Amino acid sequence: MGALQLTYEPKFKIVHRTGELMRSHEAKSVQLWLSTDPLAEKFPSWNPYNYCMNNPINLIDPDGRESDDWRINYTDKNGKAQTFNYTGKETNLPDNQYVRDFVGAYQYNVGNGGGDSMKEIAENKNIIVDVRETGALSYADHSPNILKANSYNKVSWAPNVGLETTNGVVLSPATLLDHEADHALRFAKTPGTIIREGELHRKDYDNKEEQRVIQGSEQKTALKNGEIKPGQVTRNNHYGLPVITNSPTSNKVNVKATGAYLKENYPNIFVPGVNKYKYFK
Ligand SMILES: [Zn+2]
C-alpha cells in the first residue's frame, strides 16, 4: 500500500499572534500537494482578517454564560447568516439542513457511545467551538491568540464527505466530525500543547497531535459507530481518500457522487477507471 499524500485537513494551521502564518509539518506536505491543484483556492481559509470580519468570536459573553456549547453557523432561507447554539439538548431546531446534519451526527456519535469530544464541547461551560459548512474536506482551524484558550476554535465540517483509509475502512462524516472536535477541544483546553505537538513530526501521522487523535478518539468513535470491528484499526497514518457517503452518519460510499466530487476537486489527479490510490502516492 503506497503512501497517500492527501490528508483531509489541508488547512490545519496555526496563526501566531504576530500574524505570521505558520504551518504544521502536515500542512506543509499537503501544501506541496495542493500547489499542483489549480482549484486550491476553493478551499476555504480563515485568516486572521476574515476571522475578525466574519465571526467575531471575541464577542463571547466574558462571564461564560454562553460559552458552553457548539455554535453552528449557517445561512437561512433568506441568505442571512445565522448561528444556532447547541448544548446537546436542544430539540427545537431551525429549518436548516446543515444544522440538522450536525445535530444528527452529534446524536449518532454520542448515542452510540462515542463522540466524547463533541459531548464535552457541548457541555463544558468554558468552551465554545464554531462549526461551519465546507463542501470540500473537514478540518480544524486554530487560534491566532494562543494565550486565550477559547478565542478561536473552529471546525469546518463537510457533512457528506467521509474518508476511505489506507486500511480500506470508510469513516463516516460523523466520525470525522468527532476527529476535528478532538483537535478543537484540545486547543481550547491546552493551546500551547497542541501547537507544540502539531509541530512535532511523526512519520505517517504527520505530527504528534494527529497521532494522538487518530490512535485515540478516532478509534473509539469509529468502533462505536460500527465502522471498524474490535481489534481492527481505522488506519496507521494520517492518509485517506475523501469519499461521498450516503448520509452524514453513513460509511457507505456513493460511488457515482464520489467520482464527480473527486473530478471536480482534484481534476489533475483523478483519472477514472484506474486504481484510485495511485494518484495519491
Ligand atoms: Zn486531524
Tell me, in angstroms, the distance from the centre of ligand 1 to residue 213's CA: 7
And the C-alpha cell for 244? 461521498
Kindly give the parts of the chain with pLDDT less than 50.
1-65, 143-151, 272-275, 277-281
pLDDT of the residue at 154: 84
pLDDT of the residue at 276: 54
DSSP one-letter code for 88: S
Tell me, in angstroms, the distance from the centre of ligand 1 to residue 90's CA: 28
In a domain, 80, yes or no: yes
CA–CA separation, 234 and 237 (whole Å): 9
Region of 175 on the Ramachandran plot (φ > 0 left; ψ -120 to 50 alpha; else beta):
alpha
In a domain, 86, yes or no: yes
Predicted confidence (pLDDT) per residue in 96-123, tens digit: 999 999 999 999 999 999 999 999 999 9
Tell me, in angstroms, the distance from the centre of ligand 1 to residue 179's CA: 6
In a domain, 151, yes or no: yes
Tell me, in angstroms, the distance from the centre of ligand 1 to residue 92's CA: 31
In a domain, 95, yes or no: yes
Residue bearing cell 465554545: 128
Tell me, in angstroms, the distance from the centre of ligand 1 to residue 206's CA: 10
Count structural domains, the chain. Answer: 1
pLDDT of the residue at 39: 27
In a domain, 146, yes or no: yes
Q: Give me the half-sphere count of Cα atoms (radius 13 Å) on the Cβ side of residue 47.
A: 7
CA–CA separation, 105 and 111 (whole Å): 10
In a domain, 260, yes or no: yes
All residues at 6 or more sequence positions from 58 whose CB lies less than 8 Å from its CB, including other chains: 151
Predicted confidence (pLDDT) per residue in 66-86, tens digit: 557 899 999 999 999 999 999
Tell me, in angstroms, the distance from the centre of ligand 1 to residue 130's CA: 16
Residue bearing cell 495542493: 34
pLDDT of the residue at 253: 94
Tell me, in angstroms, the distance from the centre of ligand 1 to residue 22's CA: 17
Tell me, in angstroms, the distance from the centre of ligand 1 to residue 184's CA: 10
Tell me, in angstroms, the distance from the centre of ligand 1 to residue 220's CA: 15
In a domain, 6, yes or no: no
In a domain, 149, yes or no: yes
Tell me, in angstroms, the distance from the centre of ligand 1 to residue 106's CA: 18
Tell me, in angstroms, the distance from the centre of ligand 1 to residue 21's CA: 19
Residue ranges making up the domain that contains 174 = 13-280
Q: What is the DSSP string of 220-277?
A: HHHHHTTSS-TT--S-SSS--EEEEBSSTT---B-HHHHHHHHHHH-TTT--TTS-GG
pLDDT of the residue at 50: 29
